[in-house]
Amino acid sequence: MEIVNFAHGEFLMLAMYVAFFAWALGHLDPLLALPLAVLALAALGWATYHGLIRWVLGGPMLAQIFATFGLAVFLRAGAQFLWGVDFRVVQDPWLGGRVALGPVFVGLPQLAASVAALVAFLGLWRFLARSETGVALQATAQDRQAAALMGVDTDRMYALGWALGAGCVGAAGALLAMYFYVFPDVGGTFALLAYVTVALGGFGNVPATLAAGVVVGLVEVFAGLLLAPAIKYAVVFLLYLAIVLWRPQGLFGRW
Amino acid sequence: MSQTLAIVLASVLALPALAAAQPREVVLGVVYPMSGPAAQAGVDNKAVFELAAEIANGATDLPFPFYQRLKGMPGLKGAKVRLIFADHQGKPDVGQAEAERLITQEKVTALVGSWHSAVTATMSQAAERHGVPFLNPESSSPGLTRRGFKWFFRTSPHDEHFTQVMFDFFRDFEKKRGVKLKTLGLTYEDTLFGADSGKVMKDLAKKHGYEVVLDIQYRARATSLQSEVQRLKGANPDVWMPTSYQTDAILFTRTMKELDFNPKMIMTQDAGHISPDFIAAVGKDAEGTMSRAPFSTDLIEKRPVARALNVLYSKRAGKDLYDFPARAFTGMMTLLDAINRAGSTAPDAIQKALIATSIPGEQLIMTWDGVKFDETGQNTLVKGIILQLLGGKYHTVYPFDVATKDVLYPIPAWKDRK
């Protein structure tokens, strides 16, 4: 869609708050709150497109960057204003503890989160590759004008793209809330890694992002375990830089 | 014509001089993290700073002699204290920019700040360059008072005082319980706070004959601490000694539980591990965590000044007074006392008054022996205590003569809990 959402981290933060408040006020486990978070965030993505992105889409690149960046600052400050600066944690979610996979211990919430992420990925992939709407969406992303000429309602596709993207963040946020703390600034921690992952795989290529995500995760853990924990992110970013120098479009990117 | 102009010019030039002679306002710049990962520290401190200003302005009453003497700032003939709050977001560059702005544009008399050692370092450089007094109530990096600065004053103990208390505790605890702690595992975050704390812990471990079996500097605000905890688990030290801010402290505790890491003793460097958020978020899983501290909420009942202040503070902040606001208050009152004695807002008069500071211990909310600065600007009458998280609250466990609870040791393994 050729627009980067710099408020992606803040969307994640909002999804985590949805899961947290569903637990704190409605006694809903984050697993049950997941559909709620997906719907709420999809609605937010849709509204963001219609309220903001549509108006800057034709504008210069800088206007687009500032619009989503401004949205990020607004959401972060708004969250601090409404819910304060305290760190909040969902206590005793259904999934807790760990499972032994051979000699390795894996946290159960993390395992569930990765399984759910895989399911979401397969769903998204099938939708994009197989369904007519998915193909129309891809066409819009590749060339808006050509897609419009073929009779695709690109405005709707953009809105759908935003709703889908935000909905996925909604799922991620609800899963993450099972084991990570929530506070207004939490998005920034993940957003940078997310951009690096997407850029590493290649913008617009969903399976490549999955592969890149696994690479980033492995590099992070092994750099921390075998080298020094202080430089684990340095290794991740170094790898990213090396790959981007070699292939500016990312590992599997087409353009 | 030129005569009129000269008169006008002369009177305009004379105005600031008159204003300086009889200040009607004392403007102080207060810079803390009000947003970002440590915003809670700034927001909780803001409430106590406002109380301090009200006490000085006579709007709020704290019925103890030291505070009564300050009432209405008699030294400045009733000048009003006005605080300008600024947010440094935990970033050294932002802190420095705010310090410059407050000094050059808002013309503040003095600066107070700023929690993070790394930010205090850059902000106080700006203050030093402009010749403006800087009072630091809480940053614990020892190096801050070793830069030969003339305008920098710190009321709180630093990491050497604190870490020494930990090793004193180890010695006395081993004697009392007849156990032997031999190996230490250190994890510390990678900003100035963690780096300095790590260095001090290593030095003292060597001096006191403990073996450091794991020494990890980790990336602050990590999204995952799995590899760090795996390494801790592998090294299995007698005492795990982490230095972390809130975010990492919470994540460490959660990851420990997931990965079944069972340290028998956890001795932390305050900060993240002592914040109310940490206790609210993972307090149950952090049972038995110990921390050095200059103040503990359970001491409020034992100290009349702290009790009186806590009544005012809890009404305003919605929570009990704890370490951060307690130290912030002590720092601010020390500065206000110096300005009052200086009887002027001139920087050198305040500097002179700060050097002459002598506040008796019983007038403080802290358990210190008082406030008195040495030539580096460090308060020499500080004292640290050791706390332990028991039943969701931090209790004083050392020195043994002021302890309110016995030490829980060893911390039960995860499989034996509830």
Q: What is the pLDDT of residues B181-224, one digit of tens each?
A: 999 999 999 988 899 899 999 999 999 999 999 999 998 888 88
In the beta sheet, which residues pair with residue B338?
none
Q: What is the reported pLDDT for B256? A: 92
Domain presence at residue B62: yes
* Residue B177 and residue B100 in one domain: no
Highest-pLDDT range among A61-75, A127-141, B88-102, B272-286? B88-102
B270 shares its domain with B324: no
Q: What is the dihedral of CA A129, A132, A138, A140, to 10 degrees?
A: 180
Cα–Cα dist B207/A193, whole Å: 41
Contact B135, B331 (CB under 8 A): yes
pLDDT level of residue A4 (50, 70, 90 thresholds): confident
My answer on whether B283 and B223 are in the same domain is: yes
Note whether B98 and B172 are same-domain residues. no
B213 in any annotated domain: yes
Q: What percent of chain A has pLDDT over 70?
A: 98
| Res B1: pLDDT | 47
Domain of B239, in residue numbers: 160-293+385-416
Same structural domain, B136 and B268? no
A43 touches chain B (CB under 8 A): no
Question: What secondary structure does DSSP assign to B2-60, as a single string?
Answer: HHHHHHHHHHHHHHHHHHHHS-SEEEEEEEE--SSTTHHHHHHHHHHHHHHHHHHHTSS
Region for residue B236 given its phi and psi (left: phi exceeds 0; alpha: psi -120 to 50; beta: otherwise):
left
User: Average of pLDDT values for A134-154?
Assistant: 89
- Cα torsion B285, B289, B294, B300: sign: positive
pLDDT computed for residue B202 by the predictor:
96
- Partners of B224 on chain A (C-beta within 8 Å) are 220-221
Per-residue pLDDT at B16 exceeds 50: no
Long-range contacts of B305-314 (CB under 8 A, 24+ apart): B305/B62, B305/B64, B305/B362, B305/B363, B305/B364, B305/B365, B306/B365, B308/B62, B308/B63, B308/B64, B309/B51, B309/B62, B309/B365, B312/B51, B312/B60, B312/B62, B313/B47, B313/B48, B313/B51
Q: Are residues B99 and B71 in the same domain?
A: yes
In a domain, B257, yes or no: yes
pLDDT band with cut points at 50, 70 and 90 for residue B350: very high
Strand order in the sheet with B25-32: B80-87, B25-32, B110-113, B134-136, B152-154
Higher pLDDT pick, B269 / A106? B269
Peptide bond into A60 cis (omega under 30): no
**CA nearest to B352, candidates B373, B382, B322, B379:** B373
Smallest CA–CA distance, residue B5 to chain A, in Å, is 50
C-alpha A136: how far from its chain's center?
Answer: 22
Q: Kindly determine whether residue A220 and residue B251, on different chains, have CB atoms separated by under 8 Å.
A: no
Which residue bears the tokens 């028998």? B264
Q: Do the Cβ atoms of B258 and A229 come within 8 Å?
A: no
Residues B103 and B171 in one domain: no
In terms of DSSP H, where are the helices of B343-412? 347-355
Candidate from A45-59, A221-235, B162-176 with smallest mean pLDDT: A221-235
pLDDT in tens, B65-121: 999 999 999 999 989 999 999 999 999 999 999 999 999 999 999 999 999 999 999
Evaluate if residue B17 carries a pLDDT over 60: no
CB-based contact (8 Å) between A109 and chain B? yes
- Give B354→chain A minimum CA distance, Å: 34
ipTM: 0.70
- Residues B139, B262 within the same domain: no
Chain B partners within 8 Å of A88 (Cβ): 280-281
d(C-alpha B192, C-alpha B181), whole Å: 28
- Tell me the mean pLDDT in the region A104-121: 86
Nearest Cα residue in chain A from B37:
A185
**For B376-381, what is the mean pLDDT?**
96
Rounded to an integer, what distance in angstroms lies between the CA atom of residue B178 and that of residue B25?
A: 59
Same domain, B274 and B354: no
B32 with B136, same domain: the answer is yes
| Contact: B260, A105; criterion CB under 8 Å | yes
The partner residue sitting opposite A181, judged by closest CB among B227, B228, B281, is B281
Chain A residues whose CB is inside 8 A of the B219 CB are: 229-233
Residue of A nearest to B189 (CA): A230
Task: Characterize B369-394 residue by residue with b for buried, 16 or more Cβ atoms within 10 angstroms of its Cβ, and e for exposed.
Answer: ebbbbeebbbbebbbbbbbbbbeebb
Looking at per-residue confidence, does B81 or A100 come out higher?
B81
* Residue A218 CB neighbour total at 10 angstroms: 11
Query: Both B401 and B254 in a single domain?
Result: yes
| Position B3 confidence tier, pLDDT thresholds 50, 70, 90 | low
Contacting A with CB below 8 Å, chain B residues are 35-37, 39-40, 43, 190, 216-219, 221-224, 226-228, 230-231, 246-247, 250-251, 254-255, 257-260, 277-278, 280-282, 284
Domain total of chain B: 2
pLDDT for res B19: 46
Residues A213-245 pLDDT 10s: 999 988 988 888 788 877 888 899 999 999 889
Nearest alpha carbon to residue B299 among B217, B405, B223 = B405
Q: Which residue of A has its CA nearest to B89?
A: A185
Nearest to B218 among A88, A109, A229 (CB): A229
How far apart are the C-alpha atoms of B220 and B188, rounded to whole Å? 9
Distance from CA of A173 to the nearest CA of B (A): 13
Residue to mutate among B115, B223, B260, with most A CBs inside 10 A, is B223
In sign, the C-alpha dihedral spanning B63, B64, B70, B74 is positive
User: Do the chains contact at B280 and A80, CB–CB below 8 Å?
Assistant: no
Q: Is the pLDDT of residue A98 over 80?
A: no
- How buried is B401 (Cβ within 10 angstroms: 0-12 exposed, 13-18 middle, 19+ buried)? exposed
Is B4 domain-assigned? no
In this complex, is the C-beta atom of A89 within 8 Å of any C-beta atom belonging to chain B? yes
Q: Is B376 part of any domain?
A: no
* CA neighbor of A224 nearest in space, from B319, B234, B306: B234
CB burial class (10 A; 0-12, 13-18, 19+) of residue A96? middle
Does residue B392 share a domain with residue B249? Answer: yes
What average pLDDT does range B403-410 have in this prediction? Answer: 92
Residue B220: CATH number of its domain? 3.40.50.2300
Say whether residue A195 is in contact with chain B using an 8 A CB cutoff: no
Domain boundaries, given as residue ranges, for chain A: 8-184, 187-249
Establish if B356 belongs to a structural domain. Answer: yes
Asked if A231's CB is within 8 angstroms of B259's CB, the reply is no
